[in-house]
A and B are shown apart, each in its own frame.
Chain A
Amino acid sequence: MITAQRKPMEEIFQSVERFGKILLLGCNECVTVCHAGGRKEVAMLASALRMGRLKQGSPLAVDELTLERQCDPEYAEELALAIDKYDAVCSMACGCGVQTIAGRYQGLPVLPMVNTTFMGASERQGVWAERCAGCGDCVLGLTGGICPVARCSKRLFNGPCGGSSKGKCEISPEVDCAWQLIWDRLKQLGQTELYTRIMEPKDWRTARDGGPRRIVREDMAI
């Protein structure tokens, strides 16, 4: 799941400063599940915006809408009839959603209300942590199901650095050393031989370094 967090209110107020009527647009997918941009968060931010602006004496009209998924053009199309009423669309979806909406409604400012943070998993209610960096060449099968790209601060591929101490990373005692976790898990699996196998330098072209990526399924893209 993509996780996100609402931007600071000050930044949000600045970004909508020159508008009188906006559409606050939520998404019923990832940002709902991580409590950043579902219906309720939309309602909360709408209320905060109205109050903040009313206090300043320059009321802001805020309409609320939550799409099933902002990152699909068909859902984005749902706005078509009403969009002209607004000075701007303020999206609470991840960056993908914001860009889909912005791409569809080019004449209108489309502003992000959240900072898209990472691809993560829910550890428990109210806690999310980064788990995947989308590198395009998954090695989890070799590392006991723990990703050295997403979870090692230095993205090392052949064991920990000298900063690993008592299972924690040198950047913070809050952060587990990914390689400690990998080692523990491999031991548990009886696969410690995988640890001693030298991994070749990673070809980062499958990741962001190769430029923006696309997936095309010829069988479906008809």
Chain B
Amino acid sequence: MNQTDNQRTSNAVLVLGSGIAGIKASFDLAEAGRQVYLVEKKPSLGGLLPLLDRQFPTNDCNICHLSTDTTGSIDTRNVQALPLTRLVGLEGQAGDFIARVITSPRYLETSRCTACGACLDACPQGAVSFTPGLDTSSPTCLRYPQATPLAFAIDMGKCNLCGECVKACASQAIDLKQTAVEQELKVGSVVLASGAETWDPAPMDEWYGYRRFADVITNLEFEQLMSAAGPTGGLFQRPSDGRRPMRIGWIQCAGSRTTLPGGNPYCSSICCMISMKEAIWALERFDQALDATVFFMDMRPMGKDYELYYQRAENDLGVKFVRCRPHSVERDDATGDLLLSYVDDKGRQTMAELDLVVLATGFCPSADAREQAAVLGIDLDAYRFVDAEDFQPVSTSRPGVYACGMALGPQDIPGSLTQASAAACLAGAELAAPRALNGGETLPRELDVSGQEPRVGVFFVDWGQVVKGVVEADAVRQAAAAMPGVVHAAELQLAYGSDGLQALEKAVAEYRINRVVVAGYSPRTHGKVFAEAVRRAGLNRAFLEMANIRDQDALVHKGDPAAATAKAIALVRAAVAGVRQARPAQVISMPFSPDALVVGGGVAGMSAALALAGQSGKVYLVERSRQLGGLARELARSLDGRPVEPELARLISQVESNPNIQVLTDTLVVDHKGQVGAFITGVQSGPGMFYRQIEHGVTILATGARRYEPREYLYGQAPQVMTQLQMEQLLSQAESSDPRLDTVVMIQCVGSRNEENPACGRICCRSAVKNALWIKQIKPEAQVFVLYRDMRMPFTSEDAYRQAREEGVLFVRYDPGEPPQVRKQGDALEVVFTDHILGRPLSVEPTSLVLSTPQVADDENTEELCGIFRLQQGPGGFLLEEHPKVAPVDTPAPGVFAAGSVLAPASLAEARTQGLAAAGRALTLLSRVNLILDTPVAKVNRDRCAACLICVRSCPYGIPYINAEGYSEIDPAQCLGCGVCAAECPAQAIQLPGYEDERMLSRTAALLEGVL
């Protein structure tokens, strides 16, 4: 890491693995002006995500988010994708590596392959049909129908060179003589994102009967059953007899949390959410009368607001939950029913009859994890995942090599993406200065279509089962084709990384289209992508209008296909009417400030500031209190058991001594204006409230949360009662003779998962186990009880949980309806709780009663912050991110990012990862030299202006003024485009492009055509 700048010669990063984490890291780096080699072992990009039909918690299909990134841009945006490629050597050091990679032959020319499938049909080697996910045995294996690149590959291991495929290929794409190519890549750093594999239930066949019974399937196979792209084409049939399953049981922890041979001792972290999602999706899609039951030990919905999802699944959506230890699956041959035997939480042996059993199988490291680690020269943990510490959450043991995603352990998509951005951020620090980007990519010249009659192209994008199952596509297409000005109406596949955007560009040229309507997605999520495609096609970005058929029609009117179809036609008609009147948007360019403002000096904020300091301009770190450190100051040990203080002190001193960081403690943010690239934020410092303004290009908000102050269980009324943090402080100084450690009772979920705060505290279970083990370490004979509702111990923290039980810590579950009772008996305390197995109350006199309390939103501060930065608060008062799944550290305000517990309760490792990730995301903007403004801004027609002043008076930002010539003038660089002035102007002299009065009128008229 001790690199001097002149040694950092490379501007390139090697990214290993092209799952969602690898792709995210690649694109963050590319956007930050870095060169990326994206290396993938398999023939196509995408990793595990494309196997999932839907993703929690929005139950949306997010493949588009993956592939809108991969399509159209993958070859042009500094990313060179190398599928069928593996790393065989890595020499050198951080900043100056030589990576050797070998690309296997694909045996076909991807530029020629049309993915027609003729080779697949022609191959006699067991290639029966294409069944993605469920059958990868075909030598010509296309993993999912819309793989990137969209081309087949041939597995020479199974090929006997019969040549049938060569004959079958009409485009002569197959070349069986291709050979492997080895090359050396000069890179400054490496990001390992090689992901994980799904656990194979075959070794535990004795218990689960996965190989014995066709109707026992894995959760990923269930996704395929549900998928329109799957083997049954979306028909919901069980494998054995094609019957629609009415009783489905999910078995949690299949192969996880077990020490039995063939299984994994760790928790796979996300299977609970996957099963709930599948159950909800099945209930919603097929039949409310469906019996969907989840058999579980502990429900572990761990991510932000996942607990609310669990509560909705149970209370509103009809998913049944049975707390038990599933034992084994058998089959009743007479009825064909599957019989699941389990032990319920009263200890009784019970049996459930099911039509379909879904194994919530977890994830394990890739088969070649050890081999790859050896090539990279990095350490793995006992399970062959990459070993990382809480304070260095995306670093490996070799400097310059970073890791993200499932290579670090099973986790959800937001976690993977956050780590990816964090790894990208650190990988960038090892490189030479980035190449400057300013939005001046080579684009075709914009066609002047003024004076041309509108020629509208309507594209129905990704009308999969979700839309077509409700809206009659043909009817809408025919109606669209007949609308005034429409010259072309066609379907387009964008999702799954096909060539959809290029097809759109081609169609624009072919049909001389000068206005585009995209019908399908919401303009909110996909507007930008299509605006860029329209621009690439040579049209102004404003010549696009979108009809929101998915979110605002198909998804909400499932029960009324006829009305949904009529509405779809109306929405398309409104978009066509609107786009016919589109005028080109003007684009303004101004300098982009390289400086950053970080608000909040906790671990997240400091991590962000430090990461930015080396890679961009000046960083202003603003902290409300008098010292840096935030909530971590109170923490003695991190969740991995390491002492916090030395690491924290190091971080603080690095921040304080960095010449590029200006630390402003005792400082409040008071106002904020401008836009990304040119923000101006006012702060007040010190007791004198000295005011100054900071100019900066990006903002990172990391203002943290606060500790919940318990009112429960005699807290503050008896000396024995304390929080886990207070216990931690006690343990830092305690000796084995300390009588307070004799009998310790811990109560979980105090101040969380209740009516007032329905969210899960996320880290309290792990804190409790950490402290219980610590107590046992200091005083092995101590009696420790943990009264819990679900022990939420993700990944290897499950090992700590097991260790705690082995060391005699007693874990006793309580129902929320029957919480433990705490009474004062003189100076002593009594805790009474019910033991579920024994079915009777137990009484303990604790010498310490420890309450596991959550971090809760710092409501007042966050609310103020939201007011200043124009953001919103979500459930529980935490800051609302741009998208909980795919943009976890972005906010809806461009150029403003967030990290740490201001978003949700966060562990130290998470706060650090998010801080780095926010910095990584910010660097994607800071690489720009110029700020390009193309949002519509209000325009004044001077001939109509009566200089009445209403615009001057009504603008929320005081931007319009009456100029020397006597009419209103609005600075386009300052206007934010709200349209209030346009709405107030009595002379219709002000118009907001895109929302001109006539255009709104036309849209309304079109929307209502035929109603009167």
Contacts and interface: CB of A to CB of B under 8 A. Distances in A.
Interface of A: 28-29, 32-33, 35, 38-41, 43, 66, 122, 124-125
Nearest to A38: B986
B93 interface: no
A125 B950 contact: yes
A33 B948 contact: yes
A125 B953 CA distance: 7
Contacts of B953: 124-125
B954 A39 contact: no
Contacts of B987: 28, 32, 38-40, 66
Contacts of B988: 38-40, 43
A43 B1001 CA distance: 12
Contacts of B948: 32-33
B946 interface: yes
Given A35-B986, A40-B985, A28 B954 contact: no
Given A38-B946, A66-B987, 17 more contacts: A28-B987, A32-B948, A32-B986, A33-B946, A33-B948, A35-B986, A38-B987, A39-B986, A40-B985, A40-B986, A40-B987, A40-B988, A43-B988, A122-B949, A124-B953, A125-B949, A125-B954
B999 to A, nearest CB: 15
Nearest to B952: A125
Interface residues on B, range: 10 to 19
B824 interface: no
Contacts of B954: 125
A124 B949 CA distance: 10
15 contacts: A32-B948, A32-B987, A33-B948, A33-B986, A38-B986, A39-B986, A39-B987, A39-B988, A40-B985, A40-B987, A41-B986, A122-B949, A125-B949, A125-B953, A125-B954
Interface in B745-762: none
A28 B944 contact: yes
Contacts of A35: 986
Contacts of B986: 32-33, 35, 38-41
A33 B949 CA distance: 8
A39 B953 CA distance: 19
Interface string B928-970: 0000000000000000101011100110000000000000000
Nearest to A122: B949
B950 A28 contact: no
A29 B946 CA distance: 7
B72 to A, nearest CB: 43
B950 A39 contact: no
Nearest to A35: B986
Interface string B963-994: 00000000000000000000001111000000
Contacts of A125: 949-950, 953-954
A35 B946 CA distance: 11
A122 B946 CA distance: 14
3 interchain residue pairs of minimum CB distance = A38-B986, A33-B948, A39-B988
Nearest to B953: A125
Nearest to B989: A39
A180 B987 CA distance: 38
DSSP majority for the B interface? loop
Contacts, number: 33
A43 B986 CA distance: 10
Nearest to B1001: A43
Nearest to B983: A40
A42 to B, nearest CB: 9
A107 B949 CA distance: 38
A32 B945 CA distance: 10
Contact of B946 (A32, A41, A43, A124): A32
Contacts of A28: 944, 946, 987
A184 B944 CA distance: 41
Most buried by A among B946, B949, B953: B946
Interface string B71-97: 000000000000000000000000000
A41 B988 CA distance: 10
Contacts of A40: 985-988
Contacts of B944: 28, 39
A183 to B, nearest CB: 31
Interface string B844-887: 00000000000000000000000000000000000000000000
Contacts of B985: 40
A136 B397 CA distance: 93
A66 B941 CA distance: 15
A41 B987 CA distance: 9
Most buried by A among B950, B985, B987: B987
A221 B954 CA distance: 42
A201 to B, nearest CB: 39
A53 to B, nearest CB: 14
Contacts of B949: 122, 125
A86 B8 CA distance: 81
A148 B567 CA distance: 63
B506 to A, nearest CB: 43
A1 B985 CA distance: 17
Contacts of A124: 953
B996 to A, nearest CB: 13
B989 to A, nearest CB: 8
A36 to B, nearest CB: 9
Contacts of B950: 125
B16 to A, nearest CB: 61
B990 to A, nearest CB: 11
A183 B850 CA distance: 74
Contacts of A39: 944, 986-988
Most buried by A among B944, B949, B953, B986: B986
Contacts of A66: 987
A40 B944 CA distance: 12
A28 to B, nearest CB: 6
B441 to A, nearest CB: 42
Contacts of A32: 946, 948, 986-987
Nearest to A29: B946
Nearest to B988: A39
A35 B988 CA distance: 12
A38 B988 CA distance: 8
B535 to A, nearest CB: 34
A39 B987 CA distance: 5
A28 B949 CA distance: 14
Interface string B223-256: 0000000000000000000000000000000000
Nearest to A39: B988
Contacts of A43: 988
A39 B984 CA distance: 12
A41 B948 CA distance: 15
A52 B985 CA distance: 25
A212 B994 CA distance: 51
A29 B987 CA distance: 9
A122 B949 CA distance: 10
A76 to B, nearest CB: 19
B223 to A, nearest CB: 52
A38 B948 CA distance: 11
A11 B985 CA distance: 27
B966 to A, nearest CB: 13
A186 B481 CA distance: 75
B607 to A, nearest CB: 47
A29 B947 CA distance: 10
A61 to B, nearest CB: 16
A40 B984 CA distance: 9
A41 B986 CA distance: 7
Most buried by B among A32, A41, A66, A122: A32
A26 to B, nearest CB: 9
A6 to B, nearest CB: 13
B594 to A, nearest CB: 41
A66 B989 CA distance: 12
A66 B954 CA distance: 24
Nearest to A124: B953
A67 B988 CA distance: 13
A77 B954 CA distance: 35
Contacts of A29: 946
